Amino acid sequence: MKYDDYLFLYPSVSKMMPKNHPFPGKIRIYRRKVTIYTVNHLRQRLLYLYRRKQSKDKKKECWHMKLDHIIHFTRTSPIASSTFWNDAGFHAVTGGSHKNWGTQNALMYGPDYYIEWLTVEDGNVAEASGHPLVRQLRHDGRGFGTVCLRSDNLDQLAKQIEGRGFPTIGPMDSERLTDAGETIRWRLLFIDQPISSALPLPFFIEWEEPDEVRFAGLKQKGAITEFNEKLRLDALVFSVEDPARSEAEWKSLLGGSISLENCRLAFERGTGKERLREVRFESAGQEIIFEQGSYQVPSFG
């Protein structure tokens, strides 16, 4: 081993070594002990630290997701839905049309999520689309449908989910044409599961624009106001036959935890179709029932 193959770390005091020393020349001594690492050892250590960071980043991708939006199926038009909520003291807007799905929506934003009231616009297109969300809309008709979680790397997430034993559909490109003529684009990832009365697993979204740019644009357009930014969620409550089983399945899907950054997920025992039962806001003081969905919302005045 040559002198150049070693690194001397944690220097403190310089000392000249004799010519007959295995490492002649000037080295530094730390507390009278020389700490020597081979270059190969250092490479292995750096590789270990890099892989550990990658592992933490992968866990963060799934363990620290945010709720992106709540799907609520309706049989009312986007104008009627937004009018209902505006008359109740909130700020909702019409969204636009999903031309390839035959659907349209109204939206109400919070500070980092939104509620989507989704309805059929063109029955023929909706029937032929085969889209997982549209198939569930046609099955359920009205009421809370499912929830969508936000990711910034659907390709990586799909591999992780497949590795946990959940077959997937996507990622698939999606878009919406707004009333102003603007095209909004994103990608979606679904769990491949039958449409039934059992609780649907969440699906996932990756937006074309970064969150900072997207939310800044929504504020500029008036879709998010100061009022909307105060609408923070407390919990999403799901009615299921076996709460422990449902929670375990969601934990398995999401990598070991159902903790979201912007709301809680709660599973409670119930009868009938397994679905989201209640959207609960912080400081809730009244209940609003809309299209078979329960919203526990703040009181005004």
What is d(CA 13, CA 282) in angstroms, rounded to the nearest whole number? Answer: 60
User: Angle CA(197)–CA(200)–CA(204) in degrees, nearest 5?
Assistant: 160
pLDDT string in tens for the chain (301-residue length): 444 444 444 444 444 555 555 555 544 444 444 444 455 555 555 655 555 555 444 444 444 689 999 999 999 999 999 999 999 999 999 999 999 999 999 999 999 999 999 999 999 999 999 999 999 999 999 999 999 999 999 999 999 999 999 999 999 999 888 888 889 999 999 999 999 999 999 999 999 999 999 999 999 999 999 999 999 999 999 999 999 999 999 999 999 999 899 999 999 999 999 999 999 999 999 999 999 999 999 987 5
pLDDT of residue 299: 85
What is d(CA 252, CA 62) in angstroms, rounded to the nearest whole number? Answer: 11
Is the four-CA dihedral 194, 199, 204, 205 of positive or negative sign?
Answer: positive
Closest CA to 154 of 203, 223, 111, 198: 203
Helix axes 39-63, 154-163, angle to 10 degrees: 90
Residues 107 and 95 sit within 8 Å (Cβ to Cβ): yes
What is d(CA 128, CA 123) in angstroms, rounded to the nearest whole number? Answer: 9
pLDDT of residue 4: 42
* Contacts for 138 with CB less than 8 Å, ≥ 6 apart: 120, 126, 127
pLDDT of residue 65: 84
What is d(CA 183, CA 83) in angstroms, rounded to the nearest whole number? Answer: 24
* Contacts for 98 with CB less than 8 Å, ≥ 6 apart: 104, 105, 121, 174, 175, 176, 177
φ, ψ for residue 172 (rounded to 5)? -125, 140
Q: Return left, alpha or beta for 84; rule: phi > 0 is left, psi -120 to 50 is alpha, else beta.
A: alpha
- List beta partners, residue 151: none
Helix (H) or strand (E) holding 104: strand 103-109
Q: Please name each of the domains of the chain with its CATH number.
A: 8-47 (no CATH), 62-229 (3.10.180.10)
What is d(CA 248, CA 284) in angstroms, rounded to the nearest whole number? Answer: 28
Buried b (16+ CB within 10 A) or exposed e, 240-274: beeeeebbebbeebbbeebebeebebbbeeeeeeb
- List beta partners, residue 109: 114
